[in-house]
């Protein structure tokens, strides 16, 4: 549901994606958007809902004092001001058949022509999430950022990756990968669990994200009953959120 400042007047909680929404992909949170968060935090409770691990999000944000949901809801952490660190409150780890995933990704690489890569064929995460890193786990950042920033190369392949991995949610992740999470976990379901645990109704929540197209990891929220504010350029965040201040 698209956010409308005239009808969505009960917002108490603002949740954010990170890469492409607050920062460039895998880049530090810059001072301007840190100031935007500070300003919003004077009125609203703020929450990160990310695809990556809580620790990675926290470090990328320069230890910004915010609660974090990571790995699509498989991790959660709260900020501890006494230690200037996060304290993990949930860390799920689900089984993954690594040999089978290696077989599947190798097969898909052959079908798609992605047979040259640096590092590992598949990235396995402790949570049970899986990344299909098209350029490999050791690819340099500049190559990854340049590979498919508009997702036009990967979206035509999405249905096939989903077909081969039916027990996972498959997303067109970042600029050069497919991200896979166990089927019960996505950002919308993570937000629903957070709201239930902390006493928020869905009409009190606003989500900001950039990856809301087909296969995007914000798409589950975009098509839901939670208000969604699309971010098309993280550098314009301050202007975008003016109606909220």
Tracing tokens 């460039």 back to the chain, one arrives at 24
Two structure tokens written together for 104: 């599947």
The predicted pLDDT at position 174 comes to: 79
pLDDT at 2: 93
The rounded distance, in Å, linking the Cα atoms of 138 and 119 is 5
- What is the 3-state secondary structure of the chain? CECCCCCCCCCCEEEECCECCCECCCCCCCHHHHHHHHHHHCCCEEEEECCCCHHHHHHHCCCCCCEEEEHHHCEEEEEECCCCEEEEEEECCCCCCHHHHHHHHHHHHHHHCCCCCCCCCCEECCCCCEEEECCCCCCCHHHHHHHCCCCCCCHHHHHHHHHHCCCEEEEEECCCEEEEEECCCCHHHHHHHHHHHHCCCHHHEEEEECCCCCCCCCHHHHCCCCEEEECCCHHHHHHHCHHHC
Q: What is the pLDDT of residue 64?
A: 97
Give the model's pLDDT for residue 26.
Answer: 81
Assess contact for 157 and 173: CB atoms under 8 A. Answer: no
Query: What is the β-pairing status of strands 130-133 and 123-124?
Result: antiparallel
To the question of pTM greater than 0.85 for the whole model, the response is: yes
Query: Topology of domain 13-92+185-244, per CATH?
Result: Rossmann fold (3.40.50)
CATH superfamily, region 98-182: Eukaryotic phosphomannomutase, cap domain (3.30.1240.20)
- What per-residue confidence (pLDDT) applies to 57? 97
Region of 240 on the Ramachandran plot (φ > 0 left; ψ -120 to 50 alpha; else beta)? alpha
The pLDDT of residue 198 is: 97
Per-residue pLDDT of the chain (245 residues; tens, 9 = 90+): 999 887 888 999 999 999 999 998 889 999 999 999 999 999 999 999 998 899 999 999 999 999 999 999 999 999 999 999 999 999 999 999 999 999 999 999 999 999 999 999 999 988 899 999 999 999 998 999 899 988 999 999 999 999 999 999 999 977 899 999 999 999 999 999 999 999 999 999 999 999 998 899 999 999 999 999 999 999 999 999 999 98
**Structural domain boundaries in the chain:** 13-92+185-244, 98-182
What is the pLDDT at residue 5? 84
């Amino acid at each position: 549901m698209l956010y409308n400042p005239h009808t969505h007047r009960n917002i108490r909680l603002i949740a954010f994606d990170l890469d492409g929404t607050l920062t460039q992909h895998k880049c530090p949170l810059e001072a301007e958007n840190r100031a935007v968060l500070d300003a919003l935090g004077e009125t609203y409770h703020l929450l990160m809902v990310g695809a990556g691990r809580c620790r990675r999000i926290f470090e990328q944000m320069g230890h910004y004092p915010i609660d974090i949901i990571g790995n699509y809801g498989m991790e959660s952490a709260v900020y501890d001001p006494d230690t200037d660190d996060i304290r993990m409150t949930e860390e799920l780890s689900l089984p993954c058949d690594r040999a089978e995933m290696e077989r599947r990704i190798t097969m898909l690489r052959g079908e798609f022509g992605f047979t040259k890569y640096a590092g590992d064929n598949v990235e396995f995460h402790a949570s049970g999430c899986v990344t299909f890193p098209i350029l490999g786990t050791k690819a340099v950042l500049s190559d990854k950022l340049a590979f498919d920033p508009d997702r036009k190369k990967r979206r035509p392949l999405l249905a096939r990756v989903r077909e081969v991995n039916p027990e996972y949610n498959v997303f067109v992740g970042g600029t050069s990968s497919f991200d896979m999470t166990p089927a019960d976990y996505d950002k919308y379901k993570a937000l629903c669990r957070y709201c239930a645990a902390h006493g928020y109704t869905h009409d009190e929540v606003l989500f900001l994200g950039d990856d809301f197209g087909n296969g995007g990891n914000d798409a589950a929220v975009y098509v839901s009953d939670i208000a969604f504010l699309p971010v098309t350029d993280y550098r314009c965040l301050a202007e975008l959120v003016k109606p909220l201040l």
